[in-house]
Structure 1
């Protein structure tokens, strides 16, 4: 569970942006940070360093003569490891931008920013800190070319239900966004309080495997999926996979948090070292257990967007704790076993990490996605979207599989962030009032750009009643 725009600084508040321009960090208004010169290779007269407390910021003002969308790049140095920075445009929310470890001055894409006519403020906030900032570059964004995504499923034996689902997603991609909500109770809350029902229901396979059922867990998620499908909706499943053994089960790390890296000593790397060790056998048993549940959906003609091993690159779940190679290996085993051993052909396979080194490849992924949480930021999450676009060279549909704050439709369209669906996380994220107000939710759900359950009826036969 876990951005949108840019990163950098500005040299002269009186300048007007109309073409590609680089702005030096050392000329910005600095708070808690200082100008450095000891690390060679920077541009301008120095760079900004000293991001070590939460309140450290760079703030600057840009006066623009036009309202225009700009591509943003950051030139930085990251000698202290992988870091993130937070960037705020015109005091609206905040966007987390990844700064991978490097000892060279490196320029990375950082999404887009929509500058208004007149004065615009940009603030760079510490976030993780411990990085050096040299400059940013703003370039007018080109109009996005038509998408080149495929709607042919990677599973050559995919059934008609799965084919219809991916085909429908492709038919609306770039034209609309499907509304989604994790958890049936939270979805019902949206229906009652917003007056519209989300088109997508997010559910979890968590409480079906032995390490949880042996401790009293049970689940009715499959029944909920079948019921929602009968209502004409679309279903997506995540799997908070409790480690099959090695749960600490302490007061600080109870058994029900067993999917977290810090709640188990289960080692994915050693478990996958060979096919004869006991932990490998336990992994296969869990996969087979989940396969039996997925078969119930296939038998009920329910296709699902299947999102296993989610957020692997974050390393907070055990399947990502040992780096990308074991995570990709497990994903490929899961893919092969469910399709070729269990004959599960109702799945649309969704990958859920952004970094290229974690990507298992186009041959085993139908949709790419990300999970993003930035409280109070209702922007388009364009930096993440554009990174996913580059990940597959615009050949795969892109989804916002988990979000905290809903995105404003006008921002999505302005930034050309064509997420095919969003799914708000459960509980306080949807009804607490802090992440999303009811008024905002009503505004989003009433948008012509946002499709709800009543507007996608008949989607399997491509006769959905979406607004035109």
Structure 2
């Protein structure tokens, strides 16, 4: 009898330990699909890293709005596992986002990707609320202006209302809210956005982040959002966490880092590895997901960039996903082609096929079999 009691006590203790270590979202009222996604991504990231592409379904290097088309699919006969979108323009009641994508079409693309089993992430290059300029207008005190009591606080709430209205229309076939990896205030330690390190204090950014989460979660009842904290180019853990709003306000930790033409590939690989060591250590400590939220090499001039640079940089780390930026095609403003993923005939396309076949890398077909929106 005593032995049975001891065994029962051990089972109970192990059960409590399991619950303590279980991955849970910061939103206690999160939809079942959002919670299932988050927990399944934790499991998947132990063995796999999903591949993502910004604006993949809307346009490519030489096309726009072609149903069922994707530069990625043209090469490997598969879609990305992660679809990136940006909602800049909603705050201005624009019909199209910052990259010219119709919000009506974006809504359908998001539904399509979700229906096939893909993951959706959304960023927001919203305008400077204080000056009226773009995201890149680094007029100081813009963040302070949107805080409670600030002169643009009501305007900012109005912007969040508009974002909530749009995201509330993102529904699955059964009327369920599509889970969204929401990445506001991205690259927040850079100096190029109005929410960057040169325009606001760490305390102001933290307060803005917390207000944003609280407002969307508590006031707008958005329970399908998974919040992604995002930095760039940090040297140590302290720098990464300087503007971190707290564990109860973040679900995913991530960073962005691009390779540039003048940069040696080994320098880039070492930089990514250094960042990932910091990122994955923090993710492990805090029981959060880790992601490489933006990367790429413009025009991918290296024929073996995918297996010779990106893969060596990420292969030894547990990452939920890695996403490359958009294929804008020819841009008159810069008078050149602007793209980060290969397309038919592009010099790195053959190597991308090799990258696709790597066991650890996951595209949509492989992901679909995992039923990531269902709890297990």
Superposition TM-score, scaled by structure 2 size: 0.72
Q: Does 2:203 match 1:319?
A: no
Question: In 2, Cα distance between the equivalents of 1:375 and 1:382?
Answer: 16
- Whole-Å Cα distance in 2 between the matches of residues 237 and 283 of structure 1? 18
Alignment partners' CA distance in 1, 2:280 and 2:32 = 27
Q: Secondary structure at the match of 2:373?
A: helix
Q: Which moved more, 1:377-386 or 1:225-234?
A: 377-386
2: distance between equivalents of 1:165 and 1:413? 22
Q: 1:439 aligns with which of 340, 344, 350?
A: 350
Name the residue aligned to 1:345: 223
Distance in 1, matches of 2:322 and 2:32, equals 24
2:161 corresponds in structure 1 to: 288
What is the CA distance between 1:211 and its match in structure 2? Answer: 7.1
What are structure 2's unaligned runs of at least 5 residues?
1-19, 61-68, 235-239, 298-304, 328-338
Q: How does 1:116-155 map to 2 (within 5 A)?
A: 151-155=23-27
Q: Is 2:359 the counterpart of 1:451?
A: no
Which whole-Å CA distance do the structure 2 matches of 1:401 and 1:311 have between them?
10
The Cα of 1:153 is off from its aligned counterpart by: 0.6
| 1:413 shift after superposition | 6.8
Q: Determine whether 1:219 maps to 2:92.
A: no
What is the Cα deviation at residue 418 of structure 1?
Answer: 1.7
Contact 2:51 2:361 in 1 (8 A): yes
Q: 1:302 to 1:386 in 2, by over 3 A?
A: same
Matched, 1:397 2:305: no
Would the aligned equivalents of 2:129 and 2:142 in 1 still touch at CA under 8 Å? no
For residue 244 of structure 2, what is the aligned residue in structure 1? 359
RMSD of aligned residue pairs (Cα, Å): 3.0
Number of the residue aligned with 2:324: 424
1:30-429 mapped onto 2 (5 Å cutoff): 151-183=23-55, 184=57, 185-186=59-60, 188-210=70-92, 219-220=103-104, 221-248=106-133, 258-262=134-138, 267-272=142-147, 274-275=148-149, 277-297=150-170, 299-320=175-196, 321-353=199-231, 355-375=240-260, 377=265, 379=269, 381-392=272-283, 393=285, 395-405=287-297, 408=307, 411=312, 416-427=316-327, 428-429=339-340
8 Å Cα contact 2:75/2:343 also seen in 1: no
The offset of 1:315, in angstroms, is 2.5
Contact 1:149–1:396 (CA under 8 A) maintained in structure 2: no
Tell me the SS of whatever aligns to 1:244. coil
* Higher RCO (C-alpha 8 Å, min separation 6): 2
Per-residue CA distance 1:81-135 (angstroms, 9 max, x = gap): xxxxxxxxxxxxxxxxxxxxxxxxxxxxxxxxxxxxxxxxxxxxxxxxxxxxxxx
Q: Check whether the contact 1:195–1:442 (CA below 8 A) recurs between aligned residues.
A: no
State the SS of the aligned residue for 1:206: coil
Note if contact 2:291-2:319 (Cα within 8 Å) is conserved in structure 1. yes
Deviation at 1:300, TM superposition (A): 4.3
Once residues 349 and 324 of structure 2 are traced to their aligned partners in structure 1, the CA distance between those partners, rounded to angstroms, is 13
Q: 1: CA distance between counterparts of 2:107 and 2:87?
A: 8
Q: Distance in 2 between matches of 1:362 and 1:436?
A: 43
For 1:402 and 1:345, locate their aligned partners in 2 and report how far apart those are by CA, in whole Å. 25
- Cα distance in 2 for residues equivalent to 1:265 and 1:324: 14
Equivalent residue, structure 1, for 2:64: none
Q: Give the total of aligned pairs.
A: 303
| CA distance in structure 2 between the partners assigned to 1:296 and 1:209 by the alignment | 16
**Which structure 1 segments of 5+ residues have no match?**
1-147, 249-257, 464-468
In structure 2, what is the Cα distance between the partners aligned to 1:401 and 1:309?
13
1:438 Cα offset (Å)? 0.9
Cα gap change, 1:150 to 1:370, in 2 (>3 Å): farther
Report the CA distance between 1:436 and its aligned residue: 7.6
